Structure 1
Amino acid sequence: MNEIAIANAVMVVLSASLGVNIIFWCTVGIIRFVSEIGSRVATTGPSAVRLADVAVVIPAHNEAVALPKCIAALKEIIPARQIYVASDGSRDATVTIARAAGCRALDIQPNGGKAKAIDRAIRHYRLCDRYKAVLIQDADSEIDRHYFRHALPLFDDPGVAAVAGHVLSRWREHRWLSLDMIFAAYRTRLYRILQTAFQYGQSWKWTNVSYIAPGFASIYRTSALRLIDITAPGLVIEDFNMTFEVQRKRLGRVAYSPRARCSSEDPFSLNDYRKQVQRWYLGFWQTVRRHGVWPGRFWLSLGGLLAELIVISLFALALPFAAVLYLATGIETPAVSLGAMAVHLVSPLGLLALFFAVDYALTLVVAVIECRPSLLVYGMAFPFIRLLDAALFLRALFKSFSAKSDGRWISPERYPAVVRDGRET
């Protein structure tokens, strides 16, 4: 078998392995969408959870720059008296801003961490006694004015314990390409793929295997919230753990609507991006280790995804090294040919080209869907960010065996809004 045939066989195998979970959950999502067409009938009876039944908890640590926009967006759809800011050891004007806006603000000193701040506010204000649901929202997020209209009806199903929000990367309008927008562009693609390919199918009532209700803006039914260990020790973040608690304790379903939207601010610098992603991955692996494996479809789904992510990460990181080694020494890469059922040596350059081509194809699809042609330019840097993600993902796996956290956090750098031509950017 010649080298081209072998490379083609390897490309087919790699393409299939890279896309097995995406293909499967996209198929489930399509089935869900088709099955639900025409099934949404307007109800005239009382809703299980009304707007007056919802409290909003905003954990914040030195968020004087981001908090005003967060609160302003919320106040357009919910009274300020239902907004509770848990200021976790803030040294800036976070508390003053919250109280001036008419919100309740708990000044927690010293800094104890995001999870503890959320739990402290819920207990201090007795939110589980006074409300039927609690929205936990990050201070750098801006909620869509239709969020509750699409999220609250999901609680009419008594089996729903939480509603995961649909995250949008905050896209600042700009005329020229900007280095500080690379990560927002990358997240635009990432969020579109993850939520369309995974969250929609995984949150269907017949699957119910969602592993994350993102902490940026998700709602919990208070009857379930009472039973969730928000402040589990040793974890760097809380949202993975809270979702695993729902699944492990069988508290109900994690529902999701792509119309319950909220925009979130992404890092502006490589250092902030690295620290944020490392924090997310470490928190994820810590949660996996804390809860362990239990029988059921949740772990059947999650286990398959983890195996695929590990393989993809190792493959992605090995390719550049194999290519450099090949160019320097001529040493080829072992590859399995399914047709001949044999191992052959091939040039890794073709596989590296495939990696870039597949990655850019994803960018092209999302650029069309999102109507953002600038993604086609930013997308040339995405493979390198994926390599960083792969390294951080594997590093977090090993670090999770030893790293412990008290949950304390440091907010990334925030860029204040600038008004140009009467428009805020």
Structure 2
Amino acid sequence: MARCILCQSSDVEVVLDLGKMALANKFLTKTELEAGEPAYPLRLAHCSSCGHVQLPDRVPPAAMFEDYLYMSSLSETLVNHLHGLAAAVVDWAKLKPNALVLDIGCNDCTLLEGFRKQRMSVLGMDPAVNLAPVAKQKGIEVVNDFFGLESARKLRERFGPAKAITATNVFPHIPALDDFVAGLDVMLDADGVFVVEAHYLLDLLDQAAFDTIYHEHVSYWSLDAMQKLFNPRGFEVVDCERLPIHHGQLRAFIQRKGVRPASAAVTARLAQEREYGVPERAPLEKLAAQAHEVRRQLRRTLDELKAKGMKVAGYGAPAKGSTLLTFAGVDAGDLQWIADRSPLKQGRYTPDSHIPVVSTERILQDQPDYLLVLAWNFVDEIVRQQADYRSRGGKFILPVPEVKILQ
């Protein structure tokens, strides 16, 4: 068992064991399918000393992020959200035109495009080599590397300090937290702001979103844990906001101590966490029980539909879908295919379950009786996009927080 990623305590206890799984974003080509794939333990653990929720089993980051098949720009909801985030950061920090903004884990630069619209100078950092051409087409400079102390020193030397650094859906991926914060200390201007958006532990618990657990997400952040990370290292959370995007995220504004006082929102959020039972273990034990119940419900639903001769396929191939499918034992015998808008995933097969991923055009071509919505956090957008499918009698299965069917 690894030591706590936050406080280095050895008092880390597993609360949910999801079994061995392949990497959730490693969708396979036909050649790779025949060669087989590695699998790693996937367990959720709680530190009794500091309360941080994390994975005790580590996978080398290069195995997960240097060839990455997720693109932010493929969701209208996410594009609108990220452009709104850019405007919010510029307003909150009162950034002047041409201020340098660095986005860590910039993906296809959707957020940086938003900052560019706000007349900021933009720079991206991402280890995904396959996404670099996308950034180049947009005229945005991206450094292919992981962020940490050494890479931050190189960035500072080339570009100078950043007035704002952002990390959206990236902060839970960081295994070397001390090195990451040391990099922030180098790259962030004296009065600059680091803005995090990360899946929020309270929302994960509220929605029984256990499928959000996969190897990339080594940490499951509460505000309490963020404070315990940043406060001893010269930083503090000075403002925060709970957001509905991605089934619930925490947006936190972090600055060096003394730049500005913490807002009342920080105090209120910490109080709500304590009321909920964070940072204790009990809420996680409830989550584990809910995960097993979803598995039972989904398995029973799919078996009943198969017995009736119904055609069932999937919609959306997010990483979270891989966790759900593998944990519930769903494979190509249950879902004929999964439709996804990402051309990077089309023509490949899901990890572990080996279900073919096809374009969304296949939905109306085949008109399955049911679509299992794996990207259930974007269900409203999906139902809107698939109005024709629904008008022809198609139905949607939502798997989390409990299995239900949308007529």
Instruction: Normalising by structure 1, report the TM-score.
Output: 0.29
Which structure shows the bigger proportion of residues in strand conformation? 2
Q: Which has the higher contact order (CA 8 A, sep 6+)?
A: 1
**Larger of the two Rg values belongs to structure:** 1
Instruction: Normalising by structure 2, report the TM-score.
Output: 0.30
Which structure shows the bigger proportion of residues in helix conformation? 1
